[in-house]
Amino acid sequence: MTYLDHASTTPVLPAVITAVGAVMAHPGNPSSLHASGRRARRSVEEARESFAAALGARPSEVVFTSGGTESDNLAVTGFYRARRAEDPARRRILVAPVEHHAVLDVVEHLADPRTGEGAEIGWLEVDDYGRVHADTLAAAIAEDPSSVALVSVMWANNEVGTVNPVRELAAVAHAHGIPFHTDAVQAVGQLPVDFARSGVDAMTVSAHKFGGPVGVGALVVRRDAALVPVVFGGGQERGIRSGTLDVAGIVGMATALAEATGRQPEHAARLTDLRDALIAAVLERVPDVAVSGDPGQSLVDGGPSRLPGNAHLRFAGCESDALMMLLDARGIECSAGSACTAGVARPSHVLLGMGVEPADARGALRFSLGHSSTEADVRALAEVIAPVVERARRAAVAGARRS
């Protein structure tokens, strides 16, 4: 198989498998006081120090979670409830319509009248690339600064790969005393990510996007940030996130992060070349393909304006699910968008939020590259893409006639 779906999950790095296996060979709850517990706690704290150093954070700012979805939920809900407790008038959550559903769904839950949370959603307009601009955020806050509870804007979009000016956006929010959260799940390992330099109050990270295990992540959150927990029970992780810690997963994540950030500049350069070669190869064989997201020729916050490993393409006259399955039958694995919404027969909310017409959004595919990607993967896709697109278009025409 040719794996072109690293944005969904990147293959686990060999060093991670070794590190996880070594930890799992020994028992021990890191909250226990006996020798096995102390050994487990030492493993966690050493991993915390390594993790923090790799992301420009302090160890005390790292809160371990089960992954990106939990971290996003904790940040959005935690900030919102803390701000409402301070001032009931702070009901507005400013968010872009192109966010991952781990953010969008919790925001909509807080705004649902049935929950009694009382939130109001302020939708931030994005440009044709899916980017939120600082002046857009400033204008949204200016409508009523005293009503804003928090702002959440992702570091890089998981579908089209566009990078946001996170430092600028955080500065705008902080000028009004508003906490700023960013989902950096796709950015870590591909972009230069420095928590302290970014100025954000909280940042979501997920291990399986940069070669770590599935089911472990972190919310990096400033020590002085007011955050109400959403899980209660044991008081672990500064009382922000209770629950027995996954020692093996945490060690594996820290191992993967150290490797991913250590080689990030070289890795990004290699992926950029592969991505550009992939797009060129597809365009050569299917000339009417449209490329979504930022072209990737400029800089944002000191890094590229598009994720190095992301190629998001729209094939006119096709259904993305049909394209994906036809490619899968030819040994090419990719996606039609976020794996969290796979199987949902509707156009991408990201593309619709960018102003793409529903008919054009239906034929979108995301090809995402990672540490195991090679030139052979690009050649494999190039060999099959034209006949696959032709067959998908014939199927779409036949389906339209039947209906």
Instruction: Return averaged pLDDT per consecutive 10 residues of the chain, 403 residues in all.
Output: 97 98 96 96 98 98 98 98 97 98 98 97 98 98 98 98 98 98 98 97 98 98 96 94 97 98 97 98 97 94 95 96 96 79 71 94 96 98 98 86 70
Q: Give me the helix-helix angle, 35-54 and 247-262, nearest 10°.
A: 30
Statement to judge: residues 217 and 273 lie in one domain: no
Statement to judge: residues 151 and 18 lie in one domain: yes
Statement to judge: residues 181 and 288 lie in one domain: no
Task: Please give the Cα distance from 157 to 144 (Å, whole number).
Answer: 27
CATH no. for residue 86? 3.40.640.10
Statement to judge: residues 166 and 280 lie in one domain: no
User: Contact, 378 vs 281, CB < 8 A?
Assistant: yes
> Whole-prediction pTM value?
0.95
Statement to judge: residues 237 and 299 lie in one domain: no
Q: Which of 340, 382, 384, 395 is catalytic?
A: 340
- Picking from 211, 231, 261, the residue at the C-terminal end of a domain is 261
- Picking from 241, 261, 281, the residue at the C-terminal end of a domain is 261
340 is catalytic: yes
Statement to judge: residues 293 and 246 lie in one domain: no
CATH no. for residue 349? 3.90.1150.10
Over the Cα atoms of the chain, what is R_g? 21
Statement to judge: residues 247 and 107 lie in one domain: yes
- Residue listed under structure tokens 């919310």: 219
Statement to judge: residues 256 and 276 lie in one domain: no
Which spans in 263-295 are helix H?
264-285
Statement to judge: residues 74 and 109 lie in one domain: yes
Domain count, the chain: 2
Statement to judge: residues 257 and 384 lie in one domain: no
Statement to judge: residues 104 and 216 lie in one domain: yes
Predicted local confidence at residue 336, as pLDDT: 86
Domain that holds residue 141: 14-261
Predicted local confidence at residue 402, as pLDDT: 73
Q: Token digits for 195?
A: 């928590």
Task: Please give the Cα distance from 223 to 240 (Å, whole number).
Answer: 11
- Picking from 216, 233, 261, the residue at the C-terminal end of a domain is 261
Write the Ramachandran bin of 289: left for phi over 0, alpha for psi from -120 to 50, otherwise beta: beta
Task: Please give the Cα distance from 159 to 354 (Å, whole number).
Answer: 12
Q: Which of 113, 119, 108 is nearest to 148 (CA)?
A: 119
Predicted local confidence at residue 403, as pLDDT: 65
Statement to judge: residues 231 and 294 lie in one domain: no
Predicted local confidence at residue 337, as pLDDT: 66
